[in-house]
Structure 1
Amino acid sequence: MDDRRSHDRWHLGPPVDEQGKELDPWQFDEGRVIELGCVPRFPLDIPGRPLDFCWAAFSILVVHERFVRLFERLGVQEVQFIPSQVEGHAGPWFILNPLRIIRCIDDARCEEVQYFTPEDGQPEKVGQYRVVAGMRIDPTKPGDARIFRPWGWTGALIISEDLKQALEREHITGTRFTEV
């Protein structure tokens, strides 16, 4: 998770292209390689201390080169790093695009799960998760995946214990871990 407890940290807005037009934010949670045709720029919604890892608007993951180099050393293959810019901050910065989505949420073990219904007025989302609190996953589902998003809930990024330990050893800023 993005550690939002710090009050002096930055908050990034949605990505824009060279002309300042917002990019489609939902393309980053589809689990596929993306070719943007531009270098996206993230405006600062709230200026502050830059982080090595953070969630920009719409749960878009933004990481510093330190994060990328660590993942390269560890041989992590399940992600795409898209070169990006952050307004007023020298980089290099990247969008972390997870390439795996796994249907793994264990509804019965979560604190609360709600689904979109026809009454919610969003027919395209009926049957999808509306709320997932206290997420728990079925540990048999991820297999050998080291990093992925759970199907139906893009507000989460799940990583393996070895990646968590490596991020902690490297003192990558902005991360907060919760066992699922």
Structure 2
Amino acid sequence: MKRTRPVLSVLVATVLTAGAFTALTSEAAAAPQGRACLFLDKQGAAFKGTAYGHVAWAIRDPKNRNHWIWGATENAEGDAYTKPGRNNGTWIQGGTWRQMRGEDQGKRALSLGRYDAYRCINTAGGDLAGAQRTYKQMRDNGYAIFTNNCLTKSIGIFRKYSPALSTAHLPTGYVSSPNYYFYAVLNKARGWERASSY
């Protein structure tokens, strides 16, 4: 009897420790995780025989991994400059990843027929409301081909969504074509996954 007591104590302690470890593991697994993705249309923004590319963006709700918000700036007037307040072709949608791809109907999609590739980065969390406020600012602040375009607006939305996306993770996109930024710049930035076919 005396020998079973220490053994029993060790077993109880082991079970309690295992339970605590399981609780910590499941808590870590359930921790909020955001995700930001950039989508590339390689043939977008063609000018004098050269395609400079076009990008769209998507961010995931860190509290609901099946919910995304996505959008793009399409340069509705087709000029190098659009005055603030005029239609610059900026739009937004929300739904599932399948809806974003157009596999489920009912949402404006990032068309599989248009976009060639995408790449993503995980974040510790994500501020959807802040990103949506920034989207509204971007929608209303016009368009400028080098400094206020589909790429710079996407970067602005990403940074508001996750302030942790500093310049090391998300370099500025001024005077950088979307095609060059998507591959050359993000290849050197921290945390971005490799480009995948869309």
Tell me which interval the TM-score lies in, with the shorter structure as reference length. Answer: under 0.3
TM-score by length of 2: 0.22
Q: Which has the larger radius of gyration?
A: 2
Instruction: Give the helix-richer structure, 1 or 2.
Output: 2
